[in-house]
Structure 1
Amino acid sequence: MHAVGENGGARVHPTAIVAPEAQLGRGVVIGPWCSVGPNVVIEDNVELISHVVVDGHTRLGAGSRYFPFSTVGMAPQDLKYKGEPTRCEVGARTVVREHVTIHRGTAVGSGLTHIGDDVLIMANAHVAHDCTLGDRVIIVNNVVMGGHVTIEDDARVMGSAAIHQFVRIGHAALVGGVAGVEADVIPYGSVLGNRARLVGLHWIWLRRNGVQSAEIHRMRKAFFTLYPKGASEDGPFAARLEVMRREFGDEPRVREILEFIDAPSRRGLVRVARGDFSTAETEGA
């Protein structure tokens, strides 16, 4: 890393404002009208295309790209925040599109907003304070999330979805467009609607990522053991959970779902959709 003014191989447009204390890696490109604060660390080959603002104790991972009018590391929208030196981190090769806002953490939270590697955040999305996004997550246009949201690796959140604070979205889950998510979504779960309801598993992701038919069949049986077709969650969920644990707990992905359900939660689980899961079956076609 090199401070501004050293021969670190960074290219800074003359209209950009970069604090002398900022640390820039090799191959960094800072385009016109960008602003970079004094506590910012920008790793190798990062590009700020233009009109990007990066502030706070923020680190941008190698090879990440930031499109016009995105802001990273700004103060959180939390009235309890009093200027504490909380942090924001964005992983390698992540792409942040136009008008995205990513806020740093809070002292009453984890103190860190973290976005993993190879993430795509599309235009106008908001990542609030203390959120954690895993690797390879895709956030589509206009998605908004409250503080302390956790989105695990490979999850997909479709356009204009709204995620309540403290919600957890599990590994490779799918949140449908314009969904209002008030509770946790199990790994590989697929949710739709406002308010969001569980309609099946993310069968397309499973197939596209090389999960064999025999394992998918077992996962399907495990899912319908926990959420019988045509049933709501008014029945003995705990009893069905134990049957699922006993009969399918040796399957690694089913075990992942069970561990997610067993983990502490502030929001509980998204409820199952009423009806015959026709949407879930269509998704698996």
Structure 2
Amino acid sequence: MDTIFTRGPSLNNRLTLALVLSVLLIFADHKLDAFQSTRVYLNSIVSPLQYLANLPSLMLNESAQRLTSRQQLIEENERLTNQVLNMSERLQRFDVMQAENTQLRTLLDAPVKHGMRKMVAELMAVDNNPFSQQIVINKGAIDGVFQSQSVLDDRGIVGQVMEVGTTNSRVLLVSDVTHAIPVRSVRNNIRYIASGTGSLDELYLEHVPHSVDIKEGDLLISSGLGNVFPEGYPVARVKTVIRDESRPFAVVSARPLAKLDRLKYLLLLWPQQNTDTPPIEPVTDTDEAGENP
């Protein structure tokens, strides 16, 4: 019994015929461009099938891109948040530095006498003893600091150096109960002794007779007596004058001009005759060993 596959030319003849027709069609299309319109129609027919075949890939790519974009937005938002926090912290430091710069400029513009050496020091610590008014600054013997050296701020005299270390020093404030400074009134040049009361905002003028011409608001400056504080620097302003005849002397209090409760930067002064004196060098173990044979 013959099947339909045994009818007609053999398979080899069919293959040969197909190859010959293919070569002819390729030659005709290449040389004569005879099937260009046919290819356009065929592409139009197949194009929807291509879109359908690429649709899953496009959907996956779009989903991945959306997830990537969301992750990028989250990372960028986190980065910008951190940047805002860093800039805010820098702005806060900038405000502090601007205030310190203004204070330093004011301090360096203080009316220091011509030829007098000066140096800026910074507050390191405040004595927590309620019965002592002392502070520690970051300058010491290696910077040429010496005992009884005058210390000022941008408004007036703060106190004097009482102890000198290698890299820091202790300053006794004018408000300490053990401190006294010779002063004189700018208005009439009468001399007084201003002593500390233990309070940062009050000094006491000792042994002021009732008949002395002193008024509230009088400016008191250093007189230069005692060879500790240079002459002519503001110290205090008279706050109250009480003349009680039952007492031997008038009770006179003054307010220090220096801001003793908010010190940050201070000014160290050297006497004019010591302007060219080299800084004191601390004695080291090597120097001591070199001196002893």
TM over 0.5: no
**TM tier, shorter chain?**
under 0.3
Structure 1-normalised TM-score? 0.24
TM-score by length of 2: 0.23
Tell me which protein shows more helix as a share of its residues: 2
Greater relative contact order: 1 or 2 (C-alpha under 8 angstroms, separation 6 or more)?
2
